Amino acid sequence: MSLSESTNQTTSDAARRERRRSNSLLLALGIGFLVFGAASGALYYALRPDTLRIAVGPSGSDDDKVIQAMADAFAAESRTIRLAPVKTAGAAESLSLLGAGKADLAVGRGDLDMPAEAQTVAVVRKNFVVLWTPSGPATKSSKRKQTPKIKEVADLAGRHVGIIGRTPANAALLRVILSAVGVEADKVAVKHFGTDQIEELASDPRLDAFMAVGPLDSKITSEAIAATARTRGAPKFLAVETSEAIALKHPRYESEEIPPSVFNADPAWPEDKVETVSVSHLIVARKTLAETTVAAFFRQLFAVRQAIARQVPGAAHITKPDLEKDTELPVHRGAAAVIDGNERTFLDRYGDYFWFGLLLLSGIGSAAAWLRRYLNRDEREENTSHRKRILDMVSSARSAESNQQLLCLQREADAIIRETLECYDDGVIEQEELAAFGLVLELLSNAIAERRTALQRANVEPVRGAATIARGSGGT
């Protein structure tokens, strides 16, 4: 190969290498942008607030007000969970939406038909059963208090009971209480009154007893007792003496006591504690809802509970579920983990993902290395051909007839060295390949040096012989 051909070949190789370097740079930039975009998307997905749909109803009820205040507090103070209230006609519809997967959370009474996957997250409040009967107004001839005809729950047989609230759940609860004392439910007539019909309830002469289901500080219950006392005489509170048996047979109910004077101080209503049953109003979630999501909701709920209670007093009744009680509805594992203090740490939850990520990155790195070697296969083959060319140049150097030929070989070797080093800088060839190239290059360098020495010796010998002959001729 002539010097000009070698120079043209080197220039062509350099141009091709420059194009490949540009393509590699574009590929690296593309992969970098792709990785950055994926990482940004994953970070946004991980840090964005989860919005939970919570079914509650009816509109304007105490539950609706509490949940709306909760949603506002979450939006103002939380970066993890948001609430999107879904308004319904009542608790039954709310639980139905939860079961259909159209809501993530729902507010409902514990004695309603629950979806198969429903689990307790928090207790909104406890509703106590309050049963009372009027003693009758005092007569003109006697100012003594009349003795009520109904002294216990069993005496309700053949009577009429007015129930505050139109939900069928209250009537079902009364049937459970009657059944526990041996009274057939069809022997007791019931009539429902809306929460806005307290005066009608109190003035209905056909009613022999009254029933309310709500928290002990319920304004509705207190007003109903006061209204019946004005028109029908002082209330006589009926104890549910079988409350413990009811709680054992029906885990959705609990045995409770109504403390004295809770509805009125003077006169005291009731005068002494009264045994009764309660049913909890719950926030429930689907079992499949993520543990971390429920745990975050649970922590935030109790972090803002006091703030909510300042807006809606009913929020003060929100409590944690009791893990020790054997209830019909289990506590969601996310809430239970926070209550027990056994919530899994970040590494516990995502440790497996980290290991998988490391394996994935290792695989990506190996794939990238293979792709790089594949894209640079021509340069590596070219490097191999350069080594072969240098070995051929070793033979040419040993048989060179002049220093000019050796100089051409040296220049060609310099061009090859320059190109090889550029490939090494670009990462096309590895350290081992560069070491192999160094061996053949050293062999060429030694061959050129030896041949140059031999040519110089060959040129010196004729000159030295001529000088000897010349000195001999001058002597004669």
Whether the pLDDT of residue 187 is over 50: the answer is yes
pLDDT classification of 63: cutoffs 50, 70, 90:
very high
- Considering the domain architecture, whether residues 315 and 442 belong to the same structural domain is answered as no
Amino acid at 110: G
Q: Flag whether 219 is in a domain.
A: yes
Q: Flag whether 312 is in a domain.
A: yes
Q: What is the pLDDT of residue 402?
A: 84
Query: Which residues make beta-bridge pairs with 282?
Result: 108, 123
- Considering the domain architecture, whether residues 195 and 314 belong to the same structural domain is answered as yes
- Which of residues 416 and 85 earns the better pLDDT score? 85
- Considering the domain architecture, whether residues 337 and 380 belong to the same structural domain is answered as no
Whether the pLDDT of residue 25 is over 50: the answer is yes
pLDDT over 70 for what percent of the chain?
Answer: 79
Report the predicted TM-score, pTM, of the whole model to 2 decimal places.
Answer: 0.67
What's the domain count of the chain?
2
- Which tens digit of pLDDT belongs to each residue from 274-325? 999 999 999 999 999 999 899 999 999 999 999 999 999 889 999 999 888 7
Q: Flag whether 264 is in a domain.
A: yes
Whether the pLDDT of residue 3 is over 50: the answer is no
- Considering the domain architecture, whether residues 299 and 222 belong to the same structural domain is answered as yes
pLDDT classification of 231: cutoffs 50, 70, 90:
very high
* Mean pLDDT computed over every residue of the chain: 84
How large is the average pLDDT for residues 44-63?
Answer: 83
- Which of residues 391 and 18 earns the better pLDDT score? 391
Q: What is the pLDDT of residue 354?
A: 66
How large is the average pLDDT for residues 255-283?
Answer: 95
Q: Flag whether 362 is in a domain.
A: no
Whether the pLDDT of residue 474 is over 60: the answer is no
3-state secondary structure the chain: CCHHHHHHHHHHHHHHHHHHHHHHHHHHHHHHHHHHHHHHHHHHHHHCCEEEEEEECCCCCHHHHHHHHHHHHHHHHCCCEEEEEEECCCHHHHHHHHHCCCCCEEEEECCCCCCCCEEEEEEEEEEEEEEEEECCCCCCCCCCCCCCCCCCHHHHCCCEEEEECCCHHHHHHHHHHHHHCCCCHHHCEEEEECCCCHHHHHHCCCCCEEEEEECCCCHHHHHHHHHHHHHHCCEEECCCCCHHHHHHHCCCEEEEEECCCCCECCCCECCCCEEEEEEEEEEEEECCCCHHHHHHHHHHHHHHHHHHHHHCHHHHHCECCCCCCCCCCCECHHHHHHHHCCCCCHHHHHHHHHHHHHHHHHHHHHHHHHHHHHHCHHHHHHHHHHHHHHHHHHHHHHCCCCHHHHHHHHHHHHHHHHHHHHHHHCCCCCHHHHHHHHHHHHHHHHHHHHHHHHHHHHHHHHHHHHHHHHHHHHHC
How large is the average pLDDT for residues 199-220?
Answer: 95
Q: What is the pLDDT of residue 169?
A: 94
Q: What is the pLDDT of residue 142?
A: 46
- Considering the domain architecture, whether residues 250 and 293 belong to the same structural domain is answered as yes
- Considering the domain architecture, whether residues 307 and 415 belong to the same structural domain is answered as no
- Considering the domain architecture, whether residues 232 and 298 belong to the same structural domain is answered as yes
Whether the pLDDT of residue 35 is over 70: the answer is no
Whether the pLDDT of residue 68 is over 90: the answer is yes
- Considering the domain architecture, whether residues 175 and 304 belong to the same structural domain is answered as yes
Domain containing 270: what range?
118-344
Distance of CA 202 to the CA centre of its chain: 52
Q: What is the pLDDT of residue 66?
A: 94
How large is the average pLDDT for residues 424-435?
Answer: 72
How large is the average pLDDT for residues 208-219?
Answer: 95
Q: What is the pLDDT of residue 77?
A: 78
Domain boundary among 344, 361, 386: 344
- Considering the domain architecture, whether residues 338 and 384 belong to the same structural domain is answered as no
Whether the pLDDT of residue 238 is over 90: the answer is yes
Q: Flag whether 146 is in a domain.
A: yes
Q: Flag whether 88 is in a domain.
A: no
Q: What is the pLDDT of residue 209?
A: 96
Q: Flag whether 254 is in a domain.
A: yes
Q: What is the pLDDT of residue 403?
A: 83
Whether the pLDDT of residue 100 is over 90: the answer is yes
- Considering the domain architecture, whether residues 455 and 383 belong to the same structural domain is answered as yes
Query: Which residues make beta-bridge pairs with 161?
Result: 190, 209
Q: Flag whether 70 is in a domain.
A: no
How large is the average pLDDT for residues 376-403?
Answer: 77
Whether the pLDDT of residue 137 is over 70: the answer is no
CATH code at 236?
Answer: 3.40.190.10
- Considering the domain architecture, whether residues 174 and 31 belong to the same structural domain is answered as no
- Considering the domain architecture, whether residues 178 and 324 belong to the same structural domain is answered as yes
